[in-house]
Amino acid sequence: MGILAILCACGSQQQHDTQIAHTEQVSTDSASHKTPAATDTAQVSNEPVRGISDYDKLKLLAGKNVFSTLHSKLVATLPDSLKEVFKNSPDLDLLTSSKGNLFLNDKEDYAFVVYNKKKAGIELMVYDALANKFSALYSDIKVENELPSHGCGSAIDTLTKDIEYKIGEQSDDMVKEPAKYLETPAIKIADISKDKDILIKDGCMSKRTTKADCKNALCIATSSVYNNWTCIRYDKAKNSFVVFFSQVFAD
């Protein structure tokens, strides 16, 4: 695995200023829509949510105002242009975000995990600051997996399923204290050669990876118990994302 560390001897950087528009769910022109108020004082029941599917856990967490509580906290931290977009998108609850030069244009791009109320499911969305465009991975922009084709890691269904599974693992704690979900990052745009959570020598990387690919990766935490991550990179030539790194630990 020594070659992986050599490949990723690189640095990352983040820029600033954003404004967003989403092709289907999010639009800066949708000013006629209003978001129901969600505050830290939302009623949250402490009933456990064990023994049911991840899909049903998501619906229960939404019904218990867990997601709207997180949404209220997180939207307040965004730039004004992004605040306005989420304010005008009542079907989306923001659960976490990260910013960085994801689209390789030296801009402050964003990645978001959102709960889509209409679909009753998680979406992983990305914002291209240069194009002023917000897209959902898989439905709006393609995600290819390079790992299985290289005998590297197990086949990945979708990253959104991984996020749903992780939320399911944390559901009981989230019902009791929604803010616990924010204590550790669920996603990050990072230079994986320098990030403390990413252990390149212990993980699995696509053989096609270059040094530059390591700088601005979007990494998704796939377990609430272990330090497990899957990372994707943007392929400018194809206008798509590529799963290129994974680390999985277990007892």
Query: 152-181: per-residue pLDDT in tens?
Result: 655 567 999 999 999 999 999 999 999 989
- Check residue 225 and report its DSSP letter: S
Contacts of 239 (CB under 8 A, 6+ apart): 141, 142
CA angle (75 as vertex; 118, 13 as ends), nearest 5: 110
Q: So what's the pLDDT on residue 52?
A: 85
Residue 87 pLDDT: 92
Q: Is beta strand 92-100 parallel, antiparallel or unpaired with respect to 109-116?
A: antiparallel
The confidence band for 51, taking pLDDT boundaries of 50, 70 and 90, is: low
Q: Cβ contacts of residue 80 below 8 Å, gap of 6+? A: none
Range with the poorest average pLDDT among 38-47, 107-116, 230-239: 38-47
Give the residue-averaged pLDDT of 34-60.
62
User: What is the C-alpha separation between 180 and 182, in angstroms, rounded?
Assistant: 5
Cα gap 87→71, rounded to integer Å: 10
174-115-221-205 Cα dihedral, nearest 10 degrees:
170
How much is the pLDDT for 40? 40
As a whole number of Å, the end-to-end CA separation of the chain is 21
pLDDT of 183 higher than 70 = yes
Q: In terms of pLDDT, which residue wins out, 146 or 31?
A: 146
Query: CA-CA distances (angstroms) from residue 169 to 156, 210, 230?
Result: 18, 34, 17
User: What b/e readout covers 213-227, taking b as 16+ CB neighbours within 10 angstroms?
Assistant: bbbbbbbbbbebeeb
Whether residue 9 is predicted with pLDDT greater than 80 in this model: the reply is: no
Contact 218, 229 (CB under 8 A): no
